[in-house]
């Protein structure tokens, strides 16, 4: 019951507050005194329901005798939790899934509505149990978008977009990949340990690790829970990051002695990678307007030993007013829709709306405008997003290059590992895809400011 209640609370907050499930889950698991088994169940239920919400809703709507949109929000969360256990968790008997969900209803629906709510939940879940195998998904020949959206649990607008850019088979492969549970990926903190030492430690913890295909010092762990509780993690030997997220730092290629601006530093993951490549010679200015990001950056600074970082709480759009001297390199890992990271953040597919992409694109272009004057002539700037949508990637860069003709796309082929060079297209843009590379979807491009 406690694991199910915790998952219910997270799902409610994710929907009502547009919050990240991973942050809520981490915080609540730290507070709750759950057994290892219950921690695993709460995690499975939270991510499982968010990944498969579209399919669960489709099937539940088919057995509900009222419009699904008119079902009260708490009851929708309860039904999704019950349905996920019935349809996806074979180790939980169906009768237990129904009974536990009805018991949870008693706990979370208060007052005179409780008896009716319990009866409703009980009736719908038992009906789903009886009929789910006979419910048909939309016919792909007549409704290709609806068929893919319902079967693979994505919003129709997103499926429509991807079908315009990819073949049907590839779109389906992408949707399928977005529903897989990714391995835990970690990056070695070279300021504290060598990759060989970290690999040996992780192997002792997790049994086996897989080195990254693209980024030296990246390791993947199938079950990484223990690695994040090990003293080596607390001592800052490594930190979690998808391999794709490290690629923009490789493209920027900071050199010892450089002053680097991390223009959207967030919690400091890429700042740590930049400092590792500087090797103790040089400095990173970590810019971010968020107080919360700076608290996380401060924690990372202590744990990872980030001595040569200068945190500045400010908006990169005002960078030209903040800096009196130009910098050697700039990383703009811009805020974005996050639609490339749906494996790790499945809630983003339900939170992000298509209409919101335009506002993000405006912000991304303003960030580039803000930092461009700060870069030295001859210096490099990498623009990256964890999205592959054109208006957040190619269109932004094309527009920026029109506005700032002193910038050009740089030749990035040399100096990168051959596996990374293969990810870069003829225009110099790097893209990773979940279904093609087993990584988050990421875009990055290196620009160079011409010498005067």
Residue positions in the annotated binding site for S-adenosyl-L-methionine?
Answer: 288, 315, 333
**DSSP H helical ranges for 63-113:** 73-88, 94-108
Q: What are phi and psi of 388, to 5 degrees?
A: -115, 10
**DSSP H helical ranges for 179-268:** 195-206, 231-234, 243-252
Neighbours of 35 (CB within 10 A): 10
Q: Over the Cα atoms of the chain, what is R_g?
A: 24
Give the whole-angstrom CA distance, residue 213 versus residue 239.
Answer: 18
Asked if 84 and 55 count as a contact pair (C-beta separation under 8 A), the reply is no
**DSSP H helical ranges for 89-155:** 94-108, 114-131, 144-152
Q: What are phi and psi of 153, to 5 degrees?
A: 60, 60
> 243-259 burial, b for 16+ CB within 10 Å, e for fewer?
bbbbbbbbbbbbeeebb
3-class secondary structure, 21: helix
- Which structure tokens are listed for 300? 């990372």
Angle between helices 21-31 and 2-17 (to 10 degrees): 140
Give the whole-angstrom CA distance, residue 429 versus residue 245.
Answer: 14
- Which structure tokens are listed for 280? 């103790």
The catalytic residues are 386
- Which structure tokens are listed for 121? 């939940």
Annotated binding site: 288, 315, 333
Burial zone of 390 (CB within 10 Å; 0-12 exposed, 13-18 middle, 19+ buried): middle
Give the whole-angstrom CA distance, residue 242 versus residue 264.
Answer: 17
Q: How many CA atoms lie within 13 A of 218 on its CB side?
A: 21
Give the whole-angstrom CA distance, residue 302 versus residue 297.
Answer: 9
Terminus-to-terminus CA distance in the chain, angstroms?
67
For the chain, give the number of residues: 452
DSSP state of 390: G
Give the whole-angstrom CA distance, residue 393 versus residue 194.
Answer: 34
């Amino acid at each position: 019951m406690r694991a199910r209640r915790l998952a219910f609370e997270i799902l409610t907050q994710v929907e009502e507050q547009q919050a990240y499930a991973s942050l809520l889950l981490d915080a609540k698991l730290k507070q709750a005194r759950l057994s290892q088994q219950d921690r695993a169940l709460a995690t499975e239920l939270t991510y499982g329901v968010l990944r498969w919400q579209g399919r669960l809703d489709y099937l539940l709507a088919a057995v509900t005798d009222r419009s699904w949109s008119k079902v009260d929000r708490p009851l929708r969360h309860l039904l999704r939790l019950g349905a996920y256990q019935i349809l996806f968790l074979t180790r939980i008997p169906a009768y237990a899934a129904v009974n536990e969900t009805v018991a949870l209803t008693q706990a979370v629906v208060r007052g005179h509505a409780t008896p009716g709510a319990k009866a409703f939940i009980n009736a719908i879940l038992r009906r789903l149990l009886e009929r789910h195998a006979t419910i048909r998904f939309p016919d792909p020949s007549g409704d290709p978008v609806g068929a893919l959206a319902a079967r693979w649990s994505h919003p129709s607008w997103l499926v429509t977009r991807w079908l315009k850019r990819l073949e049907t088979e590839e779109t389906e492969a992408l949707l399928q990949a977005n529903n897989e549970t990714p391995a835990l990926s970690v990056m070695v903190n070279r300021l504290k340990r060598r990759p060989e030492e970290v690999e040996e430690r992780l192997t002792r913890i997790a049994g086996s690790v897989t080195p990254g295909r693209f980024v030296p010092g990246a390791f993947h762990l199938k079950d990484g829970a223990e690695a994040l509780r090990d003293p080596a993690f607390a001592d800052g030997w490594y930190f979690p990051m998808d391999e794709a997220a490290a690629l923009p730092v490789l493209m920027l290629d900071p050199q010892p002695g450089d002053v680097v601006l991390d223009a959207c530093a967030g919690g400091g993951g890429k700042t740590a990678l930049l400092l590792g490549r500087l090797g103790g010679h040089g400095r990173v200015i970590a810019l971010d307007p968020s107080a919360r990001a700076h608290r996380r950056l401060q924690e990372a600074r202590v744990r990872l030993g980030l001595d040569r970082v200068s945190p500045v709480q400010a908006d990169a759009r005002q960078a030209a007013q903040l800096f009196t001297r130009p910098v050697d390199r700039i990383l703009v890992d811009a805020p974005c829709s996050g639609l490339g990271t749906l494996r790790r953040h499945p809630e983003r597919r339900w939170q992000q709306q298509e209409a919101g992409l335009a506002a993000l694109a405006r912000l991304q272009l303003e960030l580039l405008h803000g930092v461009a004057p700060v870069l030295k002539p001859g210096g490099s700037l990498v623009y990256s997003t964890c999205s592959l949508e054109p208006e957040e990637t190619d269109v932004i860069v094309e527009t920026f290059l029109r506005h700032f003709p002193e910038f050009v796309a740089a030749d990035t082929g040399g100096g990168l590992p051959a596996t990374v060079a293969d990810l870069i297209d003829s225009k110099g843009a790097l893209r990773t895809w979940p279904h093609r590379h087993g990584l988050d979807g990421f875009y990055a491009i290196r620009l160079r400011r011409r010498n005067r």
